[in-house]
Chains A and B, each alone.
Chain A
């Protein structure tokens, strides 16, 4: 008597994958300057003082802090954010040896970290043609390629430097798209944000290279509150990439970022994220809480903002990269792949707010749920009464890889006039055993077959990523899924 091998092998693959380690889970042993845990006005003042900020910014932070005190954490998401003790977190951690200078001045341990992550800080890696701003814990470490960009008038630097060097620009735009009153986490970020990237593309300039930021949380029990501000002036273009990793730690870590984007007349911004924060272990222990507010304002006529995200990390994801389409004929796009495995929870989607006439938006969301995870799409398409002739197309697909995972959609559609057209399509499917066997029969093992099928499912979104990121994201999808089907 003999059983076929298959079921047993399936289990074995699950075992292996469950034990597979998060590749980026190393901790760098460098001296870190951490201010004591806890949050009060003094801490806010101290962060501001440590960074040598002007009065107006301290004032902004204090207002945000005072407002935050009046708010409660939102509970409407389909995620279970446990009560966070905000007094048990340190709000500022900086690698101690950081000082101004060239690559050779960077702490060797820190450089090793970024090398492990494959971030091109060094000259030879500049061949990849990407300008990189690397943020470790709270401080921006090094911005490559700055001089070349400066020749074009492109500003790409850490937001702390921008506050010093371009105070008028920062003051003009900071908090204008995401005011500190926006939500609980936005208020918190506005009070304690430590660093992040600032991009300004002047009128008529097409940024000749991808701009890229890598965020990494290293120090224990710290939160990361970075703030990104991107401004594309009239007729400008930029493609911006964001990558994220964190070490494996048993306790959860908080990440509450803000990204604000302003797009002027005929300008275009493409913002791509590959989010791979530590998702926690197979029992749901540890992992990052990724509670992020991302929003862009298409202020100019014929302006365009395109969000592309591949989300595979974090224990909890709560983010809705949105477009406020204020300009006439402005265009908003949101392409998302969100993959959850084990006990991860993701509640992600977008808001497309049509205020300008003839503005159009496209939403393509692909959710993939494996293990015991919960994956939700939450979206809003709102067309103001005066925004005539608008169009939206939404495609919202869910793929279930296990019986114990969940896929949910929460769409809201409000159309204020009768000349606009809104289309919404949604599907939910299970990964098909026939597809896997078909691949098996052609010699492709189950794990690779699942990777192939899921990448095929996500193709429409992956195709929107810049080439070098697309390859990385494809691998990431396959790795994150290892053994999720049995």
Chain B
């Protein structure tokens, strides 16, 4: 579904991504790990079309479409979802209003009628149970006054509502206690199917105990420098990143 070739991107003239290659197929879970500043979050921002970043080369195909030519909202409609590392608060805008707008924009994109209020609320009830988000949270303003754990659960709730084909979880485990981590991971696993895929960006093995990756990639200095199976995550947990850094730096 996703084919990234030699992707390069910069922010304010600083080159961050220096040639990323990655292919993701339906049903797969990919973990992207790496030390701070290696470009993990930049990759998710560039894929979803954050205007702060400039693509300076390469290509991204998403189900055969040129992803980089699409607006951020059309990328979302096509089935790309980002669970933000730092979900923003939007004061005064209720989750109900926000989600309904989002969902109906997607339906409009596919030429469907807007969902009726009753159907929408029913859907919301159903989906929020996946991450044990209570009704009060769902009727509050977007992320306003949510705890760290609630914000991350709210991200997965939105993912459940929008049913994306490819979800990118950007450090979804950061700031979560173990209970919240379990809830979030179980939500992600519930939503997993043979038709969708997940990219998990994380520093730690911890999350991968709950969301089992098929592939683990190490991002360093804007490139994927190592790819292997789930055992690589365990090795990184044990040995840290220094040995990879040394290996890569000595080759240069």
Contact = CB atoms under 8 A, between A and B. Distances in A.
Whether chain B is bound by chain A comes out as yes
A442 B51 contact: no
Interface in A426-442: 432-435, 437-442
A73 interface: no
B4 to A, nearest CB: 13
A440 B55 contact: no
A3 B92 contact: no
B93 A442 contact: no
Nearest to A429: B91
Contacts of B50: 437
Interface stretch (B32-40, B67-75, B115-123, B243-251): B67-75
Contacts of A424: none
B82 A441 contact: yes
A443 B77 contact: yes
A2 interface: yes
B101 interface: yes
A419 to B, nearest CB: 34
B127 interface: no
A443 B76 contact: yes
Interface in B42-78: 46, 48-57, 68-73, 75-77
Contacts of B145: none
Given A5-B69, A438-B84, A457 B92 contact: yes
Given A443-B73, A443-B76, A443-B109, A4 B101 contact: no
B88 A440 contact: no
Contact of A453 (B56, B93, B158): B93
B72 A441 contact: yes
Nearest to A7: B51
A367 B52 CA distance: 27
Contact of B141 (A1, A441, A456): A456
Given A2-B55, A452-B98, A437 B72 contact: yes
Contacts of A458: 92
Given A1-B57, A4-B53, A438-B90, A443 B68 contact: no
Interface string A1-45: 111111101100000000000000000000000000000000000
Contacts of A7: 51
Contacts, number: 103
Interface residues of B, number: 41
A356 to B, nearest CB: 33
A459 interface: yes
Nearest to A451: B101
Contacts of B101: 444, 448, 452
A338 to B, nearest CB: 17
Contact of A445 (B54, B56, B105): B105
A438 B87 contact: yes
A3 B49 CA distance: 10
Contacts of A5: 49, 69-71
Contacts of A434: 88
Contact of A6 (B72, B82, B84): B72
A455 interface: yes
B88 A438 contact: yes
Contacts of A161: none
Contacts of B68: 2, 4
| Chain A contact residues: helix, strand, loop or mixed | helix
B106 interface: yes
A306 B70 CA distance: 48
Nearest to B101: A444
Contacts of B70: 5
Interface in B88-120: 88, 90-93, 97-99, 101-103, 105-106, 109
Given A453-B90, A456-B90, A4 B105 contact: no
A440 B76 contact: yes
Given A443-B77, A445-B71, A4 B102 contact: no
B236 interface: no
A344 to B, nearest CB: 23
Contacts of A442: 76, 98-99, 102, 158, 162
A337 to B, nearest CB: 12
A6 B50 CA distance: 8
B93 A452 contact: yes
A444 B88 contact: no
B169 to A, nearest CB: 13
B170 to A, nearest CB: 11
Given A1-B57, A457-B91, A6 B51 contact: yes
Nearest to B75: A441
A178 to B, nearest CB: 34
B88 A435 contact: yes
A4 B55 contact: yes
A107 interface: no
A435 B77 CA distance: 18
A186 B48 CA distance: 56
B102 A443 contact: yes
Contacts of B99: 442
B142 to A, nearest CB: 8
B163 to A, nearest CB: 12
Nearest to B77: A443
A383 B141 CA distance: 36
Contact of B49 (A4, A445, A455, A456): A4
A7 B50 CA distance: 11
Nearest to A440: B72
Most chain A beta-carbon contacts within 10 A, residue among B90, B101, B102, B103: B90
Top 10 nearest A-B pairs by Cβ distance?
Answer: A456-B92, A6-B51, A456-B93, A459-B92, A440-B72, A443-B76, A442-B102, A443-B105, A434-B88, A438-B88
Given A6-B71, A437-B52, A441-B49, 16 more contacts: A2-B55, A4-B54, A4-B55, A5-B69, A10-B51, A438-B87, A439-B98, A440-B73, A442-B158, A443-B105, A443-B162, A444-B101, A444-B102, A446-B73, A452-B101, A457-B92
6 contacts: A10-B51, A432-B88, A435-B90, A441-B48, A443-B102, A453-B90
Interface of A: 1-7, 9-10, 432-435, 437-446, 448, 452-453, 455-460
